[in-house]
Amino acid sequence: MTSQTEGVTRLPSEDPARPAEREALRPPEPRDSPESHESPESHESRESPKWPESLQALESLVELARGRPPRAGRTRIIAVDGPSGSGKTTSAIAIVRLLERADPSGATVQIIHMDDLYPGWDGLADAVARLQKWIIDPLARGEPAGYRRYDWHAGRYAEWHAVPSADWLVGEGVGCGSRGPARRCTAVLWVEADRSERLRRGLARDGETFAPHWRRWADQEAALFATEGTRERADLVIDTT
């Protein structure tokens, strides 16, 4: 059963974090890497006014996932999907911290950012296939997994990054909750915000120069989400507007 509060769909939580613990889980500063300045998935909000409510919901999602079995070999996967600029990176990093806190014995937790897989501004669908082929399927078979990072400046794939088997893998970015990957996911989170607010976040960082790219990317998002129905299949929906 879920509850609805000011646009945030929340799973029930029996043990919400104390205020001091929530303070430790405040959104981090955005990642700062050369490719992040031009990739469509780097324009996340630093902090939404709805963050306290969203964090409570994420706590419940983590508890839900911890009660489910792994579906990719020994690895439980949580997918954090939704349109660009909605706050997926912030949510995913909070989930990583919650998972680490929930298991004092030292569960291994990894995070994968889809903006390292997209082959440019027109490569959304291609990246979903690469996620499945390079990471999800090998983990499920107990084989070595990894990916080639896309260099947004050079316009080509670069070095290989190994993704070792771990207790948890948090994937974040548009498309990671699509039906193919989701079959191996323990839980799927959908993060959204008003379109105008998401565009504002992106252009505030990179300027109007990137507006045409954002529109192209938004068209791909709309087509993918219409086909995949990710929001409707998600275990949890949060609104960060």
pLDDT in tens, 6-48: 444 433 333 333 333 333 333 333 333 333 445 555 544 444 5
**pLDDT for the residue 158:** 97
Q: Tell me which of 28-32, 70-74, 127-131, 228-232 is least confident.
A: 28-32
Q: How much is the average pLDDT of 186-211?
A: 86
Mean per-residue pLDDT over the chain, rounded: 83
Percentage, residues of the chain above pLDDT 70: 78
At position 33, the amino acid (one-letter code) is S
Domain segments of the chain as ranges: 3-239
Query: In the prediction, which pLDDT does 200 show?
Result: 87
Report pLDDT for 32: 34
Topology (CATH level 3) of domain 3-239? Rossmann fold (3.40.50)
Q: Which two tokens stand for residue 162?
A: 């190994």
Mean pLDDT of 47-72: 86
Check residues 201 and 104 and name the one with the higher pLDDT: 201
d(CA 65, CA 69): 8
Interval 146-150 mean pLDDT: 98
Contacts of 108 (CB under 8 A, 6+ apart): 166, 167, 168
Beta strand 8-10 with 3-5 is antiparallel
What pLDDT does 214 receive?
84
- Higher-confidence residue: 126 or 241? 126
Across the chain, which distance is largest between two alpha carbons, in Å? 49
Give SS3 for 14.
Answer: coil
| pLDDT tens per residue across span 94-139 | 999 999 999 878 889 999 999 999 999 999 999 999 999 999 999 9
Going by pLDDT thresholds of 50, 70 and 90, the confidence category of residue 209 is: confident
Q: Could you give the C-alpha distances from 147 to 100, 119, 160, in angstroms and in order?
A: 24, 12, 6
The answer to whether 196 and 83 have CB atoms below 8 angstroms apart is no
